[in-house]
Amino acid sequence: MLRPALLTLLVACGPRAAEGPPPERAEPHGYPTTLVPPSRIEGDFLVEQEVSMTHPRGENTFRAVLQKQGARLILLGLAPHGGRAFLLEQTDDGVRFESYMPFELPFPPEYMLHDIHRAWFMEAPEGVVERDGERLEERREGGRVVERTYRRLDGRPPGTITVRYEGGLAPGAPRTAAPPARIVLNNGWFGYRATIRTLRWQPL
């Protein structure tokens, strides 16, 4: 199982991107959602994943490490040879992205961070909740969430974002309980789908 020290090593080593300005609070490219600061998310964890993306420009599959620890949330994309492909980091001060790939992502990298929050950190305890200009509905079976659907109250963007959890999402997952083996996120707002397989998980 991957350890925090290994993730630190992956982040610290390998080719470096050019140093940029400090992280800034900025609206993502058209994603009308408010991110929760990592320090307000209870529980720390590390999960290794395989992510398959289908989008208008084609398909991509990569491995990634998602770690939430304290006031820091990191998604580290791994290249086929095991090095870094990209680093996406959220702290209470903002978001930063570093790419080590010779090509651009087919969508703004912040979209992945927003989808991470939608899949794992947004909840509707009573089944339905309206906040930040959108409506979240959850469907449960046997005490587990099997589907989450997001709609904008003003219809902009139109359509829905739907997250389906294979076998259901256990209470507290992935912060204090193991995440499902597979989830599928259909982003009808921006026209892509992500299939995420859990390879390894551990609480920190």
Inside any domain, residue 21: no
Percent of the chain with pLDDT over 90: 67
This prediction's pTM: 0.83
Which pLDDT score is estimated for 104? 79
Mean pLDDT (whole number) for 116-135: 94
Mean pLDDT of the chain: 85
Inside any domain, residue 20: no
Which pLDDT score is estimated for 50? 97
- Best CA proximity match to 55, nearest among 185, 184, 192: 192
Q: Which CATH number is 119's domain given? A: 2.50.20.10
Inside any domain, residue 197: yes
Residue 4: which pLDDT band, with cuts at 50, 70 and 90? very low
CB atoms within 10 A of CB 51: 18
Which pLDDT score is estimated for 107? 74
pLDDT at 9 over 80: no
Which pLDDT score is estimated for 31? 83
Residues 67-108: tens digit of each pLDDT? 999 999 999 999 887 789 999 999 999 999 999 887 777 778
Inside any domain, residue 88: yes
Residues 146-191: tens digit of each pLDDT? 999 999 999 999 999 999 999 999 999 999 999 999 999 999 999 9
159 secondary structure, DSSP code: S
pLDDT at 1 over 70: no
Inside any domain, residue 35: yes
CA torsion sign, 151 to 160 to 201 to 144?
positive
CA–CA gap between residue 74 and residue 30 (Å, rounded)? 22
Burial of 11 (0-12, 13-18, 19+ CB in 10 A): middle
CA–CA gap between residue 73 and residue 69 (Å, rounded)? 7
Which pLDDT score is estimated for 28? 45
Which pLDDT score is estimated for 186? 97
Total number of domains constituting the chain: 1
Q: Which domain holds residue 172?
A: 4-15+28-203
